[in-house]
Amino acid sequence: MAETKREIERKYEVTGAPAEHFRLPDLHKVPGVSAIIDKGVVELDAVYYDTEDQRLAADQITLRRRTGGDDAGWHLKLPVAISEGVRDEVRAPLSDGVPRALAGLVRSRVREAELRPVVRLLSSRDVSHLTGADGSLLAEVSVDAVRAERLGAERAAAWTEIEVELADGGDPEFLGKVEKRLRKAGVERSASHSKLARALDETGVTRARGSRQESAEQPVTAGDHVLAHLRAQRDALVELDPAVRRDLPDSVHQMRVATRRMRGAFKTYKKVLDEDVTAPVGEELKWLAGELGIDRDREVLTERLTGRIDALPRTLLLGPVRGRLRIWAVSRRLGSRRHTVAVLDGKRYLALLESLDALLAAPPLKAAAGRPAADVLKKAALKDHARLAARIEHALALEPGADRDLAMHEARKSAKRARYAGEAAVPALGRSAKEFAKRMKGVQSLLGDHQDSVVAREALRDLAVQAHAAGESAFTWGLLYGQEQTAAADRERELPEVWAGAAEPGL
């Protein structure tokens, strides 16, 4: 079973003196420190794993098997805010091979490549605890004498560094106070974000850039801007994969958004990218968004119904309403979570990631790709806006009912696509595109709330049927159904006014 710990630490260079002669600067003067407790020296032996082309290192991820100390086991460190020394460390017990739980968390990077030992680090760690006046731990400070061995090559390096790790729940500002004291003693922040990064550098091994890392050149043409937008979404997809597997808040939603942005871009920029090449990839993105939707839709619906119940007076909650909803939600959640992880473990998903990499490595550019970005992106956004206008006009012309519900749902899709087109155009068009996207988002939100009410009514009917079959009162479920009907009618009345504020593109 894997467990996660949020790690906040800073590393510092030790130069000008051999490890055995180095002495940690006096930290008693750091504000808040009452005592420094010597915890002794521990010997650590860590073997780091990566692919042959170092895909994990390229994304500042480390995977190691370490013995020694009080946290022996497998450790996977995922970046959260590298510049601030913040990473999530996912741990698993010692085993001979990479634990399945950790292998899954790096699968979007590793794909079918083999994880193998690349570096061994032997560290003699001299540990001290900084404690406050009440004896509580503020931070752990260690002086590490490190020897790095490049496995499979006769190369080694040695250095000494200081690590300062904030205690769980500690104030990150405390690390700044420690750093100020260290700097006064001539100690500087390390240039490497991890021991592995330094080991790869100091053993003279060329580190891979990673298949997803691109040039930092500023986009100029329409093709440049579209490809930059697509790369950002592809990267988001890959980076969100482990968050979805860990069931982090909003991760499924954000991953689904990335798939939709890419698919929308393929459709919006047909003049830039050859549709014959992008269409098959777009269909696979549609498939993935649909699979992710099983989990995301469950999450949104449960939150909506819970909010409705919370807002009701207790006198209107007849029967075990909360218990019925909880049973309904948990049963759906367990199934959807298993399904989502199974999708991410499947070959079809990995093939999609490979297809995206291949497409971006050799993009099927058309003539418009070489034209000025502002002209091409503006025209594409206006075309999406016109499609939205036609769908809203059609929906408003229908009588309330199932046909109008469906038409408003289709309009919502168009609003989302127009919004994405506006957001993608911001680097080229600036403020006008940003305002355009904002207006499209407003229309999308109203239409989205309407669609949520349609889905909620279907769920409430099912819950009422289940309650009735179990001999429970269905009164509350019927009451909530009526509220959702009213909410839908309100959105339909509001749509003309909201659309009036977005009918002019303003680009």
Predicted confidence (pLDDT) at residue 211 exceeds the cutoff of 50 = no
* Cα R_g (the chain), whole angstroms: 28
Exposure string over 430-459, b if 16+ CB within 10 A, otherwise e: eebbebbbebbbbbbebbbbbbbbbebbeb
DSSP-derived letter for residue 117 is E
Residues 326 and 321: their CA atoms lie apart, in Å, by 9
Q: How sure is the predictor about 260, in pLDDT bands with cuts at 50, 70 and 90?
A: very high
pTM for the whole structure: 0.87
CB 95 within 8 A of CB 123: no
Residues 270 and 215: their CA atoms lie apart, in Å, by 24
Q: How sure is the predictor about 280, in pLDDT bands with cuts at 50, 70 and 90?
A: very high
Q: What is the mean pLDDT of the chain?
A: 92
pLDDT value at residue 313: 95
Residues 48 and 90: their CA atoms lie apart, in Å, by 14
Q: What is the pLDDT of residues 460-498, one digit of tens each?
A: 999 999 999 999 999 999 999 999 999 999 999 999 999
Q: Provide mean pLDDT across the span 44-62.
A: 95
Residues 457 and 280: their CA atoms lie apart, in Å, by 35
